[in-house]
Amino acid sequence: MMLSRSHLMIGLALNCLATCLFSGCQTTIGGQTLPSAYYLRDDVQYFPSGPETQLPLARQAIEDYKAGQRELNEQIPSMTP
């Protein structure tokens, strides 16, 4: 059975249409990268909240170090006469 040219063209067009509809990939149109058609249904990654900078942790470590040094200085008798 020979397929006519019109049947082949219709099959090709339907195949291209199905590929475009069901692929869900990013596309570039006019220099813009557009998201997938399914980005609203995509799962959201969880990022736990935390300090925005390391400054609070560094400040706490310095205060703990200074408190430890004060305790050591109080335990050691003074060497000055």
Q: What does pTM read for this prediction?
A: 0.33
- The CA-CA-CA angle for residues 58, 64, 66, to 5°, reads 105
Task: Give 67 or 80, the one with higher predicted confidence.
Answer: 67
Q: What is the pLDDT of residues 27-59, one digit of tens each?
A: 667 888 777 677 777 777 777 676 666 787 888
Identify any residues that bridge with 29 across adjacent strands, giving them in sequence order. Answer: 32
Q: What pLDDT, on a 0 to 100 scale, did the predictor assign at position 13?
A: 92
